[in-house]
Amino acid sequence: MAKRLTCFPFHRDVGSLKFHETSFDLLKDLLIYLNKINKENLDGLSKYSGSFKQKRLVEYIFLITQELRLDPTVGYHAVELLQRFMVKHLTDMLATSPSQGAHADEATSYEDVIFDNLKDKFPLMLFSCVQLANKLFLHRHMIDTSTAVQFLHSLGLSVSKQTLLESELMVFKGLEYRLNVLNPLMYVEVILEVLGHNEPSIPVERLYRICRHALQFITLDQTAIYESLLRITIQCVSPTREQREKFVTVTEDRMLLGAGVIAVATYILCFKKRQQVVGELSHITGISRRSISDFAHVTLLHIVGTSSSVM
């Protein structure tokens, strides 16, 4: 009987991704690693988690990667880098605020200066996250400095090569030289590979194509989707602040997102297998069938434009 996997540096080229070729031992190690990193991330969440994953910011990053013909993985990774960098950058800057022993208006004025400066530099910081993500994955379409400057000029940002390099170095330092964060596409791919190993009858290659579209939709519309999921979870149309703060562990759960994306794709591609797949996803990730099904249900309602029916 074939071994079944359960859940209790990974790079590849999306264009050449193939399933059913990874060994059992490697799959097991990858799954354990993803689960460990996910739990560590959930245990150390900042109160600003998700603040820089708003739809417009994610859309800008995706459009940049599309315009420069970069791999989609770069976009998802850049979103994670931007979130991590901005939270740390703002935390460090605000920590130097003269709020201790100072008048309230002085502290407020200092914070206004910080955000005004940030507003001017933010587009370049965002682009630097895309550059760093692209360099990390070493894809064929690299962004040389001249191309980057020309692209930014086309967007109305007048920057020199020196300014561009300084911004990239600042972001790199702000990330403490650690770029190897795990983005949601990695979770989808590994969980899908395990699913194909445990249940060979599941058409994982076809599912993957739909998963890519589903993940992009969820990433762009995550605020609305998770709001609907929160209301279903607490059975209330007006969540309290405390309930929203606790729910951050759900919005940042990469295992749930990966399983939910695959469940959505299954509902679309092979509806008759949905219960079998959800059950296997629950076995693989340790997440309840109900949680995975609720996630898929809410997402599908948003996809078809009937989210108003969600509690």
Spatial separation of the C-alpha atoms in residues 94 and 59, rounded to whole Å: 27
Spatial separation of the C-alpha atoms in residues 146 and 143, rounded to whole Å: 8
Contacts of 204 (CB under 8 A, 6+ apart): 19, 20, 192, 193, 195, 196
Condensed to tens digits (0 to 9), the pLDDT of residues 211-250 reads 999 999 999 999 999 999 999 999 989 999 999 989 999 9
Spatial separation of the C-alpha atoms in residues 57 and 81, rounded to whole Å: 12
Condensed to tens digits (0 to 9), the pLDDT of residues 72-104 reads 899 999 999 999 999 888 888 877 766 555 555
- Of the candidate CATH numbers 1.10.472.10, 3.40.50.1980, 3.50.50.60, 3.40.50.300, the domain formed by 55-174 belongs to 1.10.472.10
Condensed to tens digits (0 to 9), the pLDDT of residues 107-137 reads 567 777 777 778 888 999 999 999 999 988 7
**Tell me, what's the pLDDT at 106?**
58
- Other CB atoms within a 10 A radius of the CB of residue 235 amount to 7
Condensed to tens digits (0 to 9), the pLDDT of residues 160-169 reads 999 999 999 9
Structural domain spans, the chain: 19-45+183-309, 55-174
**Tell me, what's the pLDDT at 136?**
86
Cα 201 to Cα 96, 111, 196, 222, 290, distances in angstroms: 58, 57, 8, 31, 23
**Tell me, what's the pLDDT at 114?**
77
Condensed to tens digits (0 to 9), the pLDDT of residues 31-68 reads 999 999 999 989 988 777 888 898 999 999 999 999 99
Is the Cβ–Cβ distance between 160 and 149 less than 8 Å?
A: yes
Q: 270: which 2 tokens? A: 């092979």
Q: What torsion do the CA atoms of 181, 185, 189, 190 make, to the nearest 10 degrees?
A: 30
Eight-state DSSP code of residue 272: G
Spatial separation of the C-alpha atoms in residues 83 and 214, rounded to whole Å: 21
**Tell me, what's the pLDDT at 12?**
45
Q: Which amino acid is at 22?
A: T
Give this prediction's pTM: 0.86
**Tell me, what's the pLDDT at 50?**
83
